[in-house]
Chain A
Amino acid sequence: MGLTRGSNPNRTRRASNRFQRCGRCGRCGAQSSTGTSSYWTKVFGRCGVTSASFLLNGVRVELEGTDPHVTLLDLVRERGLTGTKEGCAEGDCGACTVVVRETTHPVQGSALPSAYRAINGCLALAAQLPGAEVWTVEGVVDTGHGAVRAETELHPVQEAIASTGGSQCGFCTPGFVMTMFASYYSPLVADAQSPDPGGEVLAGNLCRCTGYRALRAVATLTSGAGSVDRSEGTDRFARCLQDPVVGAVTAGLGSAVVAYRPSTLAESIARRASEPGLRVIAGATDVGVEITRGFRRYQGILSLDAIRDPIFSNCSRAEGSITIGAGVTMTALEDFLRDGGAPLAGHMLPWFASRQIRNRATVGGNLMTASPIGDMSPVWLAHGAVALIGGRSGIREVRVSDFFTGYRQTAVGADELLIALRVDDDVVPRGGRRVAFVRKVARRNRVDISTVAAAFMVVLDGNERVVSARFAYGGVAATPLRAIGAEDALIGAVWRNGDSHVADARARLGSAFAPLSDHRGSASYRQRLITGLFDACLAETATGSDR
């Protein structure tokens, strides 16, 4: 089976109105002379005029008066676009997957200015929509008359799924189509290079019927590992990738519940200080669940996703350290770390949620949840990272080891925001090496909450003696924690099974925490994992040990 673009059905439709003048202000005169205009440009131009509206399958949708809590899923279904399904409303099943065209991450040069990314419609809030360009399954094939007839040519991804038995009950199918649609046009290196590209692409989409074989086969082709002709040709979606995206617009929604979406950090901090009742959101993958499953409603929402301050929105590299903006998404971080830095983070990210979630979830939002079972917190703890916290009087630094002040509490004040994380490289003595070990133990290998997560960073000298060690765990206490006693015991030990200091450290690990029992695992299991992961690390990384 192969995917060919030769006969894409979408090649000519709408070509006639492609040269339309911007409909928003009429001043900037934006129109496409090359004929490769995006619909966004078509409707709004690039004048930056703010508007509480977004583009849905190329059609402008007004948001004026919409409650910022409303989800994109509900918005599209209410408009009769019922192809997008609700399977859980908590980001776990992918039935609601839609695609957004976004600016390519500023963190790494990409040949194209924009990319298609799959997201969970059930967690994207109206507050985050102004300026967005959203595609649902109905937009993928333009039938012109609303119904799919026998003669309608499908998109290559749709055709491949339909003809190979990729759908049974079909309820999950639109979500799978959209996930693969995104990877078809904008494959991610991380997926393509993984040992199981098809599986990775689809990890955020559950199917209860098919057993995934046919779907994985199609996704392997779209993942970037397969051979797909991605030349632009006549494909309207490929052509659009050349166009920049206007992106997040700082518009309120004009609804009874206020929604702010500042474009600068200073404004965001000021707003937070002046209106403490606002709920801050970044990717809203955590807050979204509070709204959809916990039925929470807030006085107002302060969305950070339009901020364009480099320190907050980008990653940067300096001699011996990297700085990661709090507003950087996990997908962008994954991309950035392919060039090195924070190896523990790079190893953990494939185990973090799904692609849809990683496309939205931010580094800052993750740390700010202060979740005892959050997966990146042990990583930052083991890296000895430093949090940069911004308030009205400037930026202060707090070590991540001092960041969690209690169960779901952080050192960030009510009038502050988390700005960035800095990870300084550990200095390795000449002839020595660095042991970086990450493991997440959960009921399922992907898209699951940790029972226990561990991140270890050990620096060894040329004689395999431990110079420094940081052992961090999630899932074992009320906050993510380091096992300081065990770390201390290791200093000077020879990194191998049998060394008495190593044995001492292991014993200390065994009594360092008092984990709880819950439906994810008993206290006894967690206790055994604490030492088991240490053993696994030793077995994997000590020289001469057998696995």
Chain B
Amino acid sequence: MTRVVGRPTPHESARLHVTGQARYTDDLPLPPGALHGWPVTSPHAHARVVAIAVSEATTIPGVVTILTREDVPGENNSGPLRHDEPLFLGAGDVATYHGQAIAWVLGTSVEAARQGAGRVVVTYEKLDAILDPADAIRLGSVHTDPQWIRRGDVDVELVGAGEAGHAIVSGEFRMGAQDHFPLETHVSVALADEDGRMMVHSSTQHPSETQAIVAHALGLSLNDVVVQCVRMGGGFGGKETQANAWAAVAAIGAWKTGRAVKVRLDRDRHMILTGKRHPFLARYRVVVSRSGDLCGLDLELYADGGWSLDLSDAVLGRAMFHADNGYFFPVMRVRGQVLKTHKTSQTAFRGFGGPQGVAVAEEIIDCAARAIGMDPHDVRTRNLYRGSGETNTTHYGQEIGDNRLAIIWEGVQDSGEFVSRREAIRAANDLGGGMRRGIAVTPVKFGISFTTTFLNQAGALVLIYSDGSVQVNHGGTEMGQGLQVKMAQVAAEVLGVPLASIRMMPTRTDKVPNTSATAASSGSDLNGGAVRDACLTLRGRLAPVAAQLLTAHGAPAVHADDVDFGDGQVSVRSRPDQRVAFASVVRAAYLARVGLSSTGYYRTPGIWFDKASGRGKPFHYYACGAAIAEVEVDGFTGQMRVLRVDILHDVGSSLNPLVDTGQVEGGFIQGMGWVTMEEVVWGIDGRLLTHAPSTYKIPASTDVPGDWRVTLLPRAAQPGVIYGSKAVGEPPLMLGLCVREAIRDAVASFAPRGSHPERVGLALPATGEAILDAIDAVRG
């Protein structure tokens, strides 16, 4: 029987993508009379609204109405957890970031609405803004109380370090924000139903939450609102919560006017109004032995949450879980807190705090190693999680179990000729000159599951029609990650039908209720479990029907347990040539009045976490990988080129190697972008200065390594996960960190001949300017 899972199957919409036929929310035909929204935004990062005058705006031809606070029939809020995100501001309310929407103008064209917005006069009383995380710490501007994770007593370790002959290395480290930059910006279209209920098309990663926010804003029940997402033009976490507000505004507009309302943020509005990857500030003290063993770490992590809480507490939590990356710290204390600043509300972004945690770990390793005069590479190798028991247990008490770090670490260095290349690079750099090369390997260990345990559940609804064709619904959304093709593969595999018999349906809240966001890399684990469950139920109903059909006249009865589903046929296991078409079985089942639709459900087993004690098993398993980067740095200008990258990554027994390789590649480049060229800059007045691709640079085709070798770890089936596969969405992003470490290696070579710099400070992102700064610092 041909297996459907595990094959390198192209994205299920690939043909639609290349022909331009794939429809996104912005491409949906609008009904006649549809309106478009444009926001009136705050020109101050922090200011009290004194008054709003809308009358002038209504004089613009095409302006139909202006939505203000008073138009909200339900709750004027889109905060997903804490209700701290007003959709509209009125007199007396306080704007808390530059660009915050105060009101929305609806017009018959985008142009009319935009012009109208320019005529709404809002007067403000300016207030002091807090923009820098250090200021927020100093002023106690926070969203949350601190969270803690502790292993052993780090104070004892710090006090005893001197006596033990260990070094204490301390430092402060900042990481910049990152814009998701999905090519598709946020779009929502709301259409009021005949009875005032609402249909919303939204580019959202979390239709159920969008549904809830819309319902609350309208004062409706959840069953009054249907949200659909066909597909997104990229999400990366940026559409997990950040799509909700625009859907709510569109719905309020549709409610008020009775006309369809589309809210599409243009690129600048998208970047100015919506949250990004959290900038972090870390302060650390690490105890390291003279031979390079990590003895203890005292770490404070501050996530710059921006103006509202959003998901920041969970993002911070994941950063705290990942501050060890792949390294064993026998004693560790992590304190984390979310800061409140007058900037966009930072949000989920591929890795969800994990990258910041991992970056801190790599920063600490590098600084600790150089301080004691060791090669950071040796310190990495020495301190990887290993063995079993304590040395293979994280700081929050989870046993890593089947630890593949060592195999991957060795494997990538062997295939990537790390040692010989490093020698050659050292020798070349020793000759001096303005161009230097650097090389580094970094590992990644990433925990898979939502750390908020209850979110780890999923539902599906599978429908078989009487001709044997199948529709599959589940709660996950497609944003390019290939979830739909994987789910189609799972359904086809279980039902034993060709992929072509499966149609994946748009994600809708009226098909599967109460879904979790498509996030945390969990899409195929969770929804795959649910789709499989539904298909197994249906197969269980079809098997007896098939058995009956397969029982030859007069022969002993074929038992339902003895039939196989595969290749569009159902066959007798012991006599595979005795078979009947799947469609015939379905037809017979229909005539025999057997139900041909079923829901499916899945929840991840065995995970828990106790936030108060900071201990538990928050993750179902870990996904690991490692990457080597070789770079060339220009000592005259700080410019940098990535020459070669080798990646070895564990995706378990891949459901779809074509899709998974694409995830690894795309994730790597996105991570590389974060640590190199992508710099989000806010002005001193809190204005976002980098709000379009002209000023905010994501990697282009010419930035990818000329020599790029990506391998998926072979023979890596993961027990207890759908077909032995592993989550792949987020982990590879952190592989990009090796580029920063390779740059640091090159920078170190600029130190005066024969000396080893005790510290190579390099900003994140390591832009050309940051690299030149670092070179100048080590040149002395």
Contacts and interface: CB of A to CB of B under 8 A. Distances in A.
B637 A170 contact: no
A169 B480 contact: yes
Contacts of B434: 535-536, 539, 547
Given A93-B693, A169-B235, 10 more contacts: A89-B266, A89-B267, A148-B19, A168-B666, A170-B233, A173-B22, A177-B20, A205-B701, A212-B669, A521-B768
6 contacts: A86-B266, A92-B692, A162-B11, A211-B699, A525-B768, A528-B772
A293 interface: yes
A85 to B, nearest CB: 7
Given A172-B183, A446-B700, A165 B11 contact: yes
B21 A169 contact: no
A268 interface: no
A138 to B, nearest CB: 5
B515 interface: no
Contact of B183 (A152, A208, A289, A536): A208
A535 B20 contact: no
State the main secondary structure of chain B at its contact with A.
loop
Interface of B: 10-11, 13-24, 26-27, 29, 114, 180-185, 231-236, 266-268, 431-435, 479-482, 500, 634, 636-639, 641, 658-659, 661-662, 665-670, 677, 679, 681, 689-690, 692-695, 697-704, 706, 708, 710, 767-769, 772-773, 776
Contacts of B699: 211-212, 444
A519 B697 CA distance: 12
Contacts of A85: 24, 26, 183-184, 233
Interface of A: 80-90, 92-93, 95, 136-138, 140-141, 143, 147-148, 150, 152, 154, 157-159, 161-174, 177, 196, 198-203, 205-216, 219, 289, 293, 295, 439, 441-449, 451, 518-522, 525, 528-529, 532-533, 535-536, 539, 546-547
A147 B22 CA distance: 10
A417 B755 CA distance: 60
Contact of A90 (B694, B701, B710, B773): B694
B702 A446 contact: yes
A138 B19 CA distance: 6
Contact of A150 (B24, B500, B679): B500
Contacts of A87: 183-185, 267, 693
Given A88-B693, A525-B772, A536-B434, A206 B704 contact: no
Contact of A443 (B18, B181, B669, B677): B677
A213 B17 contact: no
B694 A449 contact: yes
B702 A92 contact: no
Given A82-B23, A90-B692, A539-B434, A208 B665 contact: no
Contacts of B690: 519
A522 B770 CA distance: 10
Given A213-B708, A539-B434, A171 B23 contact: no
B702 to A, nearest CB: 4
A81 B19 CA distance: 11
A518 B751 CA distance: 29
A530 B434 CA distance: 16
A290 B697 CA distance: 20
Interface centre among B480, B661, B698, B699 (most CB of A within 10 A): B480
Interface centre among B21, B182, B690 (most CB of A within 10 A): B21
A219 to B, nearest CB: 8
A208 B698 contact: yes
Nearest to B111: A295
B316 to A, nearest CB: 25
Contact of A158 (B19, B231, B636, B700): B19
B349 to A, nearest CB: 12
Given A88-B267, A89-B267, A444 B432 contact: no
A210 B431 contact: no
Contacts of B17: 161-162, 167, 170, 173-174
A95 B639 CA distance: 27
Given A154-B15, A211-B666, A171 B234 contact: yes
Contacts of B236: 208
Interface centre among A152, A169, A442 (most CB of B within 10 A): A169
Contacts of A165: 10-11, 658-659, 661-662
Contacts of B235: 169
Contacts of B661: 165
Contact of B16 (A148, A198, A207, A446): A148
A355 B185 CA distance: 24
B268 A293 contact: yes
A96 B693 CA distance: 14
A199 B701 contact: yes
State the main secondary structure of chain A at its contact with B.
loop
A85 B670 CA distance: 22
A479 to B, nearest CB: 21
Contacts of A83: 19-21
Nearest to A535: B636
Nearest to B266: A89
Contact of B706 (A166, A196, A203, A441): A196
Contacts of B23: 82
B234 A209 contact: yes
Contacts of A150: 500
Nearest to A158: B18
A16 B67 CA distance: 55
B689 A519 contact: yes
A78 to B, nearest CB: 10
Contact of B704 (A154, A161, A212, A519): A212
A173 B658 contact: no
Contacts of A532: 636-637, 772
Given A90-B694, A170-B13, A171-B184, A137 B666 contact: no
A539 B11 CA distance: 49
Given A171-B24, A208-B670, A441-B639, A137 B19 contact: yes
B769 A522 contact: yes
A131 to B, nearest CB: 24
Contact of A441 (B19, B479, B637): B637
B20 A136 contact: yes
B392 to A, nearest CB: 32
Contacts of B667: 211
A214 B662 contact: yes
Contacts of B14: 161-163, 167, 170
B729 to A, nearest CB: 11
Given A170-B233, A208-B234, A539-B636, A147 B21 contact: yes
Nearest to A67: B111
Given A199-B704, A539-B433, A211 B10 contact: no
Contacts of A441: 637, 639, 768
A119 to B, nearest CB: 16
B662 A199 contact: no
Contacts of A93: 183, 693
B637 A439 contact: yes
A203 B702 contact: yes
Nearest to B433: A547
Nearest to B8: A165
B741 to A, nearest CB: 19
A150 B10 CA distance: 13
A468 to B, nearest CB: 24
Contacts of A196: 702, 706
Contacts of B700: 202-203, 206, 212, 444-447
Contacts of B232: 169
Nearest to A531: B636
Given A148-B15, A213-B708, A216-B701, A207 B183 contact: yes
4 shortest A-B CB distances, which residue pairs?
A83-B20, A169-B480, A171-B233, A170-B17
